[in-house]
Amino acid sequence: VNQGVKKLMLITNQDSLSSMLVLKRVESVMWGYAKTMPAMKQAELEILASLVDNYRDVLHNFKASGKYKPLSLVALKSREVLVVWVAFCIIHSNVVRLHKSQMEGFGVPLDFNDLSHLVLSDPTEWEVVLQIAKYLGKYG
């Protein structure tokens, strides 16, 4: 997981600009991961899960601060959902890679059709949705 992102997550006294920077940087990393579905070691998967947890904490604090007003709450929530689903797919793909025989016959508990309800304005985000839908379609 990108070292720069881990450093960004260490910002403790975040103003709204710092929060937005952290959120956008993590989203950028996750969108890249959605395209490649990288093979990761157990320790990297744990860091990824921690990164997503920290992302969600920053987002929650940003929304609680009330400084998100120029942004849509629905769009913020939609990007959060997409970050979490990307992380799920990366973790799932690595579990399947590492434990192929044990995972045979198991599907995923997510329905890619649910992603059609997201409110996203960036074409890159919709590309990520298509990547996730493609991955989930393979295991659904």
With a pLDDT cut of 90, the percent of the chain lying above it is 61
* C-beta of residue 96 within 8 angstroms of C-beta of residue 103: yes
How high is the pLDDT of residue 35?
A: 95
- Give CA–CA dist 91/40, Å, rounded: 8
How far apart CA 96 and CA 59 sit, in angstroms, is 30
Q: What is the tens place of the pLDDT at every residue in 75-130? A: 999 999 999 999 999 999 999 998 888 888 888 889 888 999 999 999 999 999 99
Q: What is the pLDDT of residue 139?
A: 82
Q: Do residues 88 and 49 make contact, with C-beta atoms less than 8 angstroms apart?
A: no
Let me know: does 127 contact 32? Beta carbons within 8 Å. Answer: no
Whether the pLDDT of residue 40 is over 70: the answer is yes
